[in-house]
Structure 1
Amino acid sequence: MSDESLSYEQARTELAGVVDRLEQGGGSLEESLALWERGEKLADVCQRWLDGARARIDAARAARDSE
């Protein structure tokens, strides 16, 4: 599954797992960097979903206010 097809909930859940693994430590530097990079991508997916939701809310409010 590509990152673009992840739902907000899927990306958030995977991101939480990445954070947990990073907080536990114990991995190599290379593993930690790979986890960090994955976390950054997942955070971007979540942010895109949130930005889209905000735009929809703003549009609905604007439509309501123009009635």
Structure 2
Amino acid sequence: MASNQSARPGCEDQHAADLPQDFESALAELEALVTKMEDGALALDDSLRAYQRGVELARICQQRLDVAEEQVRVLQGSLLRSLDEASGEGGA
């Protein structure tokens, strides 16, 4: 059992390395996994692995959405400041 645990971190590193890093790829793979799981054709162990992979993919999607949302906030803040400055100059 101890040898299984010692081999596990390397497996996790390899597993993390094969996860898609872009939103679109992660979402497409997640949708495909959901379809397979909904079909009920997977064995129990395969379903558990698919579920674990799905959680990881969902996490990647959420992280990418969080980054995009923050970028939109920054852009909106810059735009609003520019508009406020322009309206302040125009009103004087």
Cα RMSD of the aligned pairs, angstroms, is: 1.3
Report the TM-score when normalising by structure 2: 0.66
Report the TM-score when normalising by structure 1: 0.88
**Is 1:41 matched up with 2:56?**
yes
The structure with more radius of gyration: 2
Q: Which residue of the partner structure matches residue 2 of structure 1? A: 18
2:79 to 45, 51, 64: 64
Unaligned runs of 5+ residues in structure 2 are 1-16, 83-92
Q: Output the amino acid matched with 1:48.
A: Q
SS at match of 1:66: helix
**Percent of aligned positions that are identical:** 29
Task: Write the distance in 2 (CA, Å) between the matches of 1:21 and 1:27.
Answer: 7
Task: Write the distance in 1 (CA, Å) between the matches of 2:77 and 2:41.
Answer: 50
Aligned residues: 66
Unaligned runs of 5+ residues in structure 1 are none
Using CA pairs under 8 Å that are at least 6 residues apart, name the structure with larger relative contact order, 1 or 2.
Answer: 1
